[in-house]
Amino acid sequence: MTDFVFDGGTAVVTGAASGIGAELAAALARRGCRLVLLDRDADRLAAVAARTGGTTHVVDLADRAATLAAGAAILAAHPRIRLLVNNAGMALGGRFDQITLPEYEQVLDVNFHAPVRLTHTLLPALRAEPGAHLVLVSSVFGLLAPAGQTAYAASKFALRGFGESLRQELAGEVGVTLVHPGGIRTRIAESARVGSGVPPEQDAADRKVWERLLTFPADRAAGLILDAVERRRPRLLIGMTAKAPDLAARLAPVGATRVQGAAERGLRRLVARRAG
């Protein structure tokens, strides 16, 4: 496929109220795209739309019916879509035995089922637009799965498998880019849910660890994603916190998990000493 052309195309972005999604909206507006923006945070989404000129859909992507309804409304208003960015995501802290099944399933609904539902609903509009492209934002935890992230890692591994298979099915029609961000400076740690069985002191310690890892600027991440779209790159790793684990997983799939666990324990001790 030829390079992607942004100017004049319609771009749909989920999770557009903050973080990478908001930066993508701003960058796409500068590149001449007509924007359709989705998020559950009405106030923040309205602020992004005011800056970028996009139309908005306030929707909780954990809600199957609401997600499908939003997709149908977008399809009716935009029968041709040039870019769909499934960016929205949520995190959930706690070991598997510290979370409830509804909490687990909510993460799967937002991070995996919503992208599947929106992609399935909007695929006719993507196919109707020559040179269309699809972006699926997975995670470094779609490459390696740390303890305490069973729901998040499962959702991101699933999204990775979905995207890699779909890329082959849509070859020559719609481009597909899988994105694996590392520690991006967004609100994901701040807004992360915590399992019902997680003690407050464990939650506080976990948040401090993750906050120290979220250092890569969201605007730079958005720029890299759009560069990857323009060049039709099938896969994008953002930051050394994604590139190093990816290399480790390729060289030593089992050993990489042990190294990751040791590194996380070391970071926790460092944070605890500084907090003390």
The residues carrying an active-site annotation are: 152
DSSP per-residue codes, 119-155: HHHHHHHHHHSTT-EEEEE--GGGT---TT-HHHHHH
Question: How far is residue 230's CA from residue 121's CA, in Å, rounded to a whole number?
Answer: 24
Q: Could you give the C-alpha distances from 233 to 75, 179, 219, 230, 246, in angstroms and in order?
A: 26, 10, 19, 8, 17
If you count them, how many residues does the chain have? 276
Nearest to 38 by CA among 57, 54, 11, 20: 57
Closest CA to 84 of 32, 40, 120, 45: 120
